[in-house]
Amino acid sequence: MPSRSQPFDVLVVGGGPAGIAAAVSAASRGVTVGLLDDNLTVGGQIWRGEEKNATRPESRDWFEKLRSSNVQLIAQARVFQQPMPGMLLADTPAEVVELQYANLVLATGARERFLPFPGWTLPNVMGAGGLQALVKSGLPIAGKSVVVAGTGPLLLAVARYLRNQGAEIRLIAEQASRRNLIRFAANLLHQPGKLAQALELGRYLRAVRFAPNSWPMAAQGKDELESVTLSVDGSPETIACDYLACGFHLVPNTELASLLGCELKHGYVSVDETQATSIGSVFCAGEPTGIGGVELALIEGQIAGLAASKQRLPARLLRDRDKLKRFVVLLDETFQLRTELRSLGQPENIVCRCEDVPLAQVRRYTSWRAAKLHTRCGMGPCQGRICGPATEFLFKWRPDSVRPPIFPTGLEALATTPGQYQIVTGGEQ
């Protein structure tokens, strides 16, 4: 596989709002900036598909800033290894790219947490954000009935988008208690921007049934999803539907930060007031530092980009960031997963979908490492990104190490890192 080398003063990994803001801010000084993402276009999940047809003034402004900057975009690229400090290796469809940098900004975003329950592997049972991404990519949803279930503000945003595309939202099932949601709403009075967003969502979804204290118990169907049974405020209820969009809050993507040796606290990358991590040349912005939404991600991205390019940090950005950080704590407290969800899965239900490992097998062990060694749980193509957060909640396990490659990578790509791997063929090394 051919390879090439790309040197940058500032390299940004992740092309969502935080990454775009970091790259644009760093480039404003005139330094060389690279922005890498594993998708065809930048924007992340929140701005997916808006690069050429932005529907929101905020995203339109940032895409315009990006287009008028000197930022070099590297699309369809996944970082899989750090062969030495100041260099990352990224796998692309055509080649392996050596990315050299003086300073690095990690803006790797977050993913949905899934929990096992009977029928969760049926076709058309999928992540809330995953269904939204498929619809943005062309999946026809008009006229289809959808149940949205799980926890967190993402459920409302997805329900709004799907309804706007013609879907019938049968129910939004939120596992958080009514009391927690009332306290959350009261706290939004101190966050005018968030309050305005919540009121707008509420107006748009006022005709959609919303049920707190509710969660999916089982999905039914022969060849694909036909209905879902939920616990709705303490009583079982079965609803016929075409899709179940399900997600239990978000999990930060911290694998690359862990590989680089960055300190993590409570599952998030630890940063100082300049968004610098415990590794001097590495900064981090957005969801890996705390799930706080697009507004906070943009501010953190700007701070990280400015700091990585040795520019002055405006006091306004620091004040706005610290104010919005309180929203991270509020989200974690409001949408904390309830203990009842630990008993949803049955012994025969798959936990690791890549390696077909059922819950009964995983329960025999006392740690993530032991389960991996004996059952291959977490050793499939997703490399524990689905079953890892699930077992962390179910059993309070935490992965004790991150090893390269952090994404599935071809042998040709691995062969570009001499001394890092031993490839065994025909009984010889």
Class (C level, CATH) for 114-248: alpha beta
Question: Quick check: 89 and 81 in contact, CB under 8 A?
Answer: yes
Number of H helices, E strands in the chain: 13, 21
Backbone angles phi, psi at 280, to 5 degrees: -50, -40
- Close Cβ partners of 214 (under 8 Å, ≥ 6 residues apart): 149, 171, 173, 174, 175, 230, 231, 232, 233
Question: Quick check: 108 and 22 in contact, CB under 8 A?
Answer: no
pTM: 0.91
In three-state secondary structure terms, 60 is helix
Go through the chain and tell me how many residues it has. Answer: 429
Question: Quick check: 191 and 181 in contact, CB under 8 A?
Answer: no
Specify the DSSP class assigned to residue 229: E
Residue among 379, 385, 349 at smallest CA distance from 116:
349
Q: Per-residue pLDDT for the chain (429 aa), expressed as one digit of tens each?
A: 556 788 999 999 999 999 999 999 999 989 999 999 999 889 888 888 777 776 777 888 999 999 999 999 999 999 999 999 999 999 998 889 999 999 999 999 999 999 999 999 999 999 999 999 999 989 999 999 999 999 999 999 999 999 999 999 999 999 999 999 999 999 888 888 888 888 888 888 999 999 999 999 999 999 999 999 999 999 999 999 999 999 999 999 999 999 999 999 989 999 999 999 999 899 999 999 999 989 999 999 999 999 999 999 999 999 999 988 988 888 999 999 999 999 999 999 999 999 999 999 999 999 999 999 999 999 999 889 999 999 999 999 988 778 888 888 888 777 766 555 544 444 443
CA 49 to chain centre: 17
Beta bridge pairs of residue 220: 227
- In angstroms, the CA 251 to CA 267 distance is 9
- In angstroms, the CA 204 to CA 195 distance is 14
Pinpoint the alpha helices (H) of 287-385: 294-308, 315-334, 359-362, 368-375
Per CATH, which fold does 3-110+251-313 belong to? FAD/NAD(P)-binding domain (3.50.50)
- CATH 3.50.50.60 domain locations along the chain: 3-110+251-313, 114-248
